[in-house]
Amino acid sequence: MNPHDTPAVRETESRWVVIGVAVAVSLLFAQVAAGVVRGVASDEPSFLEKVQTCLIERETPFEPVDDDPIAASAGRGALRTTVDGNAVTVALGRSEDDAERVYDAYAGVATAEGAAALLDRRRKVVFLWDSAPTTEQRAFVYLCTLDAQE
């Protein structure tokens, strides 16, 4: 009989395996808890707040989109503003898939020509314009939503 195969040795090894697993689970739990606390305690503004700040700094008024259920369904929020006389709804998706869902919902209720001219998506952000935007108007909203696109 091998001296390492005794019941006492196996019991000791089993105890150390259980202790090791318990320590690993505890460390994993601590990491998750720290991430949650960091997220809750963070003073970092939301992506919608960053867009609003950009618009405020550029003296561009905005309003919520209470009457637009598609925009309101965007994961990070939405707002409506006017850039050089052209109104635009800005919907901030939580992910690129969320933005694609919002884009597809708008495209589903628009004509093909209207969607092509008025609807735009940059990664996680969807733009719905009242009139076809100029290059300058489009550049303005792209700039204010740069953080939210990532």
pLDDT of residue 1: 57
pLDDT of residue 133: 97
pLDDT of residue 104: 96
pLDDT of residue 40: 65
pLDDT of residue 34: 73
In the chain, where the domains are located: 3-41, 47-149
CB-CB contact of 150 with 128 (8 Å): no
Measured over the CA atoms of residue 124, residue 130, residue 133 and residue 136, the dihedral's sign is: negative
pLDDT of residue 38: 66
pLDDT of residue 92: 97
CB-CB contact of 99 with 125 (8 Å): yes
Q: Show pLDDT as tens, one digit a residue, over the chain (150 residues).
A: 566 677 777 888 888 888 888 888 888 887 887 776 666 666 789 999 999 999 999 999 999 998 999 999 999 999 999 999 999 999 999 999 999 999 999 999 988 888 889 999 999 999 999 999 999 999 999 999 998 877
CB-CB contact of 36 with 30 (8 Å): no
Q: Which residues pair with 68 in a beta bridge?
A: none
